[in-house]
Amino acid sequence: MEAIRRVLTVRDVWLVALCQLLFWGGWFGVIGDVPTYFVTVQGMTPTAAGVMTSIILWAYM
């Protein structure tokens, strides 16, 4: 338990965790809204929008 306390008091650990949280929040927000954008603005079918979104996800990996 002492080791965890020592790690949690390191400022850099908190900064890395915050950066990761902000990145994930932005990423999930984009992935959640991209299919809607493709359907409403680009005029794609929902199926095509889903395929395009999955390609984006696979390209990220």
What pLDDT is recorded for position 30?
86
Q: What does DSSP assign to residue 4?
A: H
What pLDDT is recorded for position 46?
97
Per-residue pLDDT of the chain (61 residues; tens, 9 = 90+): 888 899 889 999 999 999 999 999 998 988 899 999 999 999 999 999 999 999 988 987 7
**How many CA atoms does the CB half-sphere of 9 hold within 13 Å?**
6
Number of H helices, E strands in the chain: 3, 0
pTM: predicted TM-score of the whole model, two decimal places = 0.64
Say how far apart CA 21 and CA 19 lie, in whole Å.
5
Domain layout of the chain by residue ranges: 24-61
Q: Which residue is listed with tokens 């005029």?
A: 43
The full length of the chain comes to 61
Residue 42: strand, helix, or coil: coil
